[in-house]
Structure 1
Amino acid sequence: MHLKEIFRKKRYSIERDRFPRKLGLLDLTFLGIGAIIGAGIFVITGQAAALYAGPGIVLSFLLGAVVIGISALVYAELCSAYPLSGSAYSYTYATLGEVVAWLVGWNLLVEYGIATSAVATGWSGYLRTFLEQNFGFTLPKMLSGAYNPSAGTFIDLFAFLGTLAVFILLTLGIKKSATVNTFIVFLKILTLVLFLIFGITHVDFKNLE
């Protein structure tokens, strides 16, 4: 295989892009917000503030906002120049070549796999705690954690069911998925806004000294 073939670029045409365009401005906006403000904010933030960063987590959020803003601008430019399906894979294929796009594609698969596992596990933990504290319902230990025979856990049932539910939703089509995503992102933003409103009165600014 010649070096030229490895770095060959694919020529795209909007007319040849056969995927139907069913998402409107509102759908795309909420998809973007949902990607930027991930569910991890409910899973990792508390642990990071309590165990590691402390008040410094404010600076972490500010730095993260700058990085995310730059990434968002890059995606905005690319999707305007290449209004095609395929996201980063298609953009990379059209600009940097096949081998780089191949690496990006596998990187995305690994990234989304790890992120999905982390969020599903965190969601499962919150759900188990909620059911135990409010309804006295406790899962058998073997169904309440990842595979670890020495700890007596074999499968995280709630994480599996949550992931399965999302999978089934995706099979119903992009429009239904986007509608559910819009609703969930709206609830997520509402939750964060209410948290800020009610939490601001309990801030101890001495912790920032």
Structure 2
Amino acid sequence: MAQTAGTDVPPKGRPVRERILAAADEHFYAEGIRAVSADRLIAEAGVSKVTFYRHFPTKDDLVLAYVERKAAVERGVLEEFRERSADACDTLVAIGRGISDMSCSPGFRGCPFINAAAEYADPDHPVRRAIAAHRVWFAEYLGELLGELGVADRAAAVEQLIFLRDGAMLAGYLSLDRADRAESIVRAGRAVVEAARTDALT
């Protein structure tokens, strides 16, 4: 792409920052964060180094933006599931089927948050804190759904549902056998919820 004096003209008006983030989103997820250099993303986005570092002073700043963008997209999808579902039970079923659909899609490489966390060992790093914040949000989201289903003591059930989600994402990446995956996830989720309801009655 032709550039003039280090300035970038986004194709079809697409903002430069979005072009950089789109390149990061594709390559960080497909190949791993450490494996993708800033120079490669600069070339992929068709921007100058000056422009790249003006938007993202360090690669870690870009990784943080990538993780936050992934989190925002996932939150939007989960809220849409809740808006479109008849009740909390239907929402949980939609989540299970959504995980199955995602894990069967081309290019699926597991959970982007777990993948990113594996590359940042320090739990106090801003990237890890962003991942932790998103998982806290997800736990609260599940807790609200369980509350609507009459589960009073929700902490253990939320933890189990998150274990189920994480395990399903990992299995989806590693396993070639995808038959009946959605129903398996939904059945396991129902078992967690029913056990929590039963505990609440005893």
Q: TM-score, normalized by length of structure 1? A: 0.28
Larger Rg: 1
Q: TM-score, normalized by length of structure 2? A: 0.28
